[in-house]
Amino acid sequence: MGKDVYAIGIIGFGGMGSYHLELAKGIDEVRFIGSYDIKESRQQYAREKGLKVYDSREAILADESIDIILVATPNHVHKEIAIDAMRAGKHVVCEKPITLSSADLQEMIDVSEKTGKLLVVHQNRRWDEDFLTMKKIYDEGLLGEVFAIESRVHGSRGIPGDWRQEKEYGGGMVLDWGVHILDQALLMVNEKVKKVYATLTHVTNQLVDDGFRVVLTFESGLNYLLEVGTSNFISLPRWYMLGNNGTAVLQNWGDDARVVKAVGKSETDIVPVRTAAGLTKTMAPRREDTITEEIIPAVPGNIKEFYRNVAACLNGEAEIIVKLPQVMRVMRLMEAIFESAEKQQVVDFE
Ligand code: NAD
């Protein structure tokens, strides 16, 4: 039996827990009613926000008026809280990364199947404009056959100074940001990933990776570089995509993309570039009448779709957008990244 409004209780009312409260404004299908956090200061903040505050995990899970539990704690306790919640009869929305390994994820999936409760991950960056814009360029074949994609996220403040710095809490940038941009990569390129090669950085932190570079080789040979950096004082563009007939670049979140394509005119009169010590025709700039340049406006994304989809799915009106087999594939890919980095070798994947 469906419902018009689903009541949500939050476990872990930190930065992200309170963001979800903001996010829910204007979504008629869900209402956040309560929360539990192990820190008294966050319990107090939840009271100030008008939430019902519970004294324990057991107490929030025992409240029959709650339909869905949002798990927004540090990563290492997602699994046990999600499993407890499903066993207590709640559906679960879990923050990313869903957990720390594919074996743990399989346990969570088993409980979801056994209890019949929904388990879904908040892969919110599927709704980011930059991703949707580059996906449109890829899907519409605007560049011809795409042979390389580069997806980068750069900052310069090192890894955040909280639980993200420690392995036991599920810290590190592969789990933190990798999970988003890998999910995007697998949604964009609908092919098997054959090979994975990764290196991790430890510039500001020795305990966990504070950045990484990964190259995925897809079945067609498409080469997909993903990079997260936290010691990058100059950022490279968020996206760069190469096709056999053109190139696209998108500088920063929310920007429009710039596409330059060949128009098929031959160039017989290339003027070589002369440098201090040499001369090159290969790398000489194009004559303007042999290329076109267009701006692809940022494709809007609406993250409110996430909770609307959860409610529609519970009412039997829609398929869930963030599917567990997709989440498992990303989890296995993150494991392959750690394996490749540790062995300093290319790892076979699918
Ligand atoms: P945070 O440290 O700000 O908040 C975590 C909260 O959980 C804290 O208030 C802490 O006291 C509480 N907590 C810890 N253990 C608990 C337990 N056993 N039971 C109840 N409460 C507990 O961290 P954050 O930045 O809000 O991150 C929380 C989760 O959200 C992480 O999984 C993170 O990866 C994810 N996150 C997702 C996004 C996104 O864009 N999807 C962005 C940021 C964080």
The predicted-structure confidence for 276-298, as pLDDT tens digits, reads as follows 999 999 999 998 899 999 999 99
Average pLDDT rounded to a whole number, residues 74-100: 98
From 16, 22, 125, 179, the mutation candidate for ligand 1 (largest count of ligand atoms within 8 A of CB) is 16
pLDDT of 284: 92
pLDDT at 126: 98
> If we measure between CA atoms, which residue out of 233, 282, 287, 283 comes closest to residue 260?
287
Identity of the amino acid at 173 = M
Could you give the maximum distance between any two Cα atoms of the chain, in Å?
Answer: 78
% residues pLDDT > 70 (the chain): 100
Q: How confident is the model at residue 321 (pLDDT cuts 50, 70, 90)?
A: very high
| Of 86, 92, 34, the residue nearest 310 (C-alpha) | 92
Atom index in ligand 1 nearest the CA of residue 78 equals 32
Q: What is the CATH number that goes with domain 126-302+332-348? A: 3.30.360.10
pTM above 0.95, yes or no: yes
Determine the Cα–Cα distance for residues 202 and 173; give it in Å rounded to an integer: 10
Test site for ligand 1: of 53, 95, 126, most ligand atoms within 8 A of the Cβ: 95
Alpha helix ranges (H) inside the chain = 15-23, 40-48, 57-62, 78-87, 102-115, 129-139, 173, 179-188, 305-314, 324-343
| pLDDT for 269 beyond 90 | no
Please give the distance, rounded to the nearest whole angstrom, from the Cα atom of residue 14 to the centre of ligand 1. Answer: 5
CATH 3.40.50.720 residue ranges of the chain are 6-122
- The confidence score (pLDDT) of residue 267 equals 81
Domain 6-122 CATH (choose: 3.40.50.10860, 3.40.50.720, 3.60.21.10, 3.40.1080.10): 3.40.50.720
Whether residue 34 contacts residue 60, with contact meaning beta carbons closer than 8 Å, is answered with yes
Task: Say how many residues make up the chain.
Answer: 350
Segment 256-272 mean pLDDT: 90
Average confidence (pLDDT) over 262-273: 86
Range 80-102 average pLDDT: 98
Mean pLDDT of the 27-40 span: 97
Per the prediction, the chain carries an average pLDDT of 97
Residues of the chain with CATH 3.30.360.10: 126-302+332-348
